[in-house]
Amino acid sequence: MDGQLWVEPVGDLIIARVRGQPTEALLRECQDRVLLIVRDRGDRGVHRVLYDALEMESPPVDVPLSQRDLDEKLAGVRLRRAIVVPNTRLAYLARLAFGEGDCRVFYSDMAAAVEWLAREGA
């Protein structure tokens, strides 16, 4: 299945849900939508993003690596990200994608991801 994307603000979180097989273009669209919501909010704080990859299929390794290029263009925007994955393969790819940023990977535990995002300075 080709990748599908849903990005919406929910309370003080931005939720990005990716289903199917993502592409570099889909990741770029996801980042653009997240940044649009950040700009619409207009504050300069840390923006909390929950990536729901529970229904995502494993892409080729070059796709998650393209996320690093997108992150280099954040221009001072601070994102705290939780990535929820169903298996170790997607966890590994998520760590490749987001590198050393303010992020954490969770295995099928949406509640723990939301709790971690809500904590200040965690």
Three-state DSSP class for residue 17: strand
Q: What would the pLDDT profile of 44-68 be if each residue is shown by its tens digit?
A: 667 899 999 999 999 999 999 999 9
Domain residues for the domain of 73 are 4-118
| CA dihedral for 38, 45, 23, 53, sign (positive or negative) | negative
Counting the structural domains of the chain, the total is: 1
Q: What would the pLDDT profile of 9-29 be if each residue is shown by its tens digit?
A: 998 899 999 999 999 999 999
Quote the CA–CA distance of 58 and 65 in Å, as a whole number: 13
For position 108, which CATH number holds? Answer: 3.30.750.24
| CA dihedral for 10, 118, 43, 47, sign (positive or negative) | negative
Q: What per-residue confidence (pLDDT) applies to 122?
A: 46
Three-state DSSP class for residue 63: helix
